[in-house]
Structure 1
């Protein structure tokens, strides 16, 4: 079977999961844009009330987006697809054999489409509010310093590595796997508060691409597509060494096992293509 045939077959079986990924990241991007306009746009009453309290606004942003990711992970559609909503996370689970190659391709395409689509809707609906210099389409770019790209790369690598390793360790633990979504939410909130000045806090290549397309600004975009996947790959390597190749039950961040109709269900077909038995 050719790879294109595998893609078509996978889409026919699992399109609902790919749609759930697109919806998940679209919701994330939309909430990020709305919260940023609420907290940073000069015309916002919240911004005016907290005008001199940058710390409070940062904490509100972190808390809000942390709760958004928790809501996505434990929502019905998040449980259906696994709530990766991030190409770097999907690629890491693909490397671990928890999602098949055609499914991983569709997951990433769905994530990119969802992020671009949500940012375009925000741009269309809110126009100048979303484009205001205080909001800047929520675009993520390196800090304007002589070594800004190097600093952003290092920061993105570190936060992505920590996030993926925590995620894997939690999913491996019977006691912690149901709390994985909450742990990610806490990390995301802390990253927004403390890491944003170093890289703009992306973690997610698809989200960064979506807002970059809306803004028409692509400076440093490459590093947000290189550092997080590289970091999550290294996290999977370390995880395998720590646990001597022990497997995860699934790649579903809510911590539940996959249903027989899920791309993560190991009994449906071999985790890696091509299928040698059918060759």
Structure 2
């Protein structure tokens, strides 16, 4: 079994390909929109979620706590959905959100502009003309590219960032399926006891990191967690000894954590030269 991530170009046919893979492989199909809806589990109510998702990204925009918490919770939700593998995820950068997971086949789904224009016009029941369709495609493409670079530091236009690139204006969906099916049938995509343990540990680490983001009263912009069995390794930089103590105490109260190993460093104090 595998985890297939489809990074979609705007109106490139990734959704149709995902639905075909779901039927033929018997895999679970998830979209980015479904994952976002599940963020309510971590306290992301509609108002807060809309504020983050529609916030404008400036040229010098840096990752602040709000963004860090959003990514941590998104990773936790997607990891939980992917822990049994046999998953097709169509959205953007699923492989980055599931960093470290074995058996991921990352695919960039593209299509020529003529194909995409036709898809946009059909979706809008031909109420728009070709010029408007092109503007829609460029606008969504640009927004997705900026989000990818900002949240995951990845460029979705670089083919080497993916295991496979499929152009659905040149290849039919059944032909694309045959290529994908042949790949995920290879031995390296089959689960083993070791790979299941890796996925279990990564999923638990992602969920604990999300809990830190939403429940622990600390500044956690440089915190990482790793899980091995019942032991949790928390590392990174804290901004005060009080934050370090509160973080260790918070983690020790989590029922699935039997041991907390701390490798926390304190951030150097900034000197006011004003």
TM bin, normalised by shorter chain, reads under 0.3
Between structures 1 and 2, the one with greater helix share = 1
User: Scaled by the length of structure 2, what TM-score is found?
Assistant: 0.22
User: Scaled by the length of structure 1, what TM-score is found?
Assistant: 0.22
Between structures 1 and 2, the one with greater strand share = 2
Tell me which of the two structures has the higher relative contact order, counting C-alpha pairs closer than 8 angstroms and 6 or more residues apart. 1
Larger Cα Rg: Structure 1 or Structure 2?
2
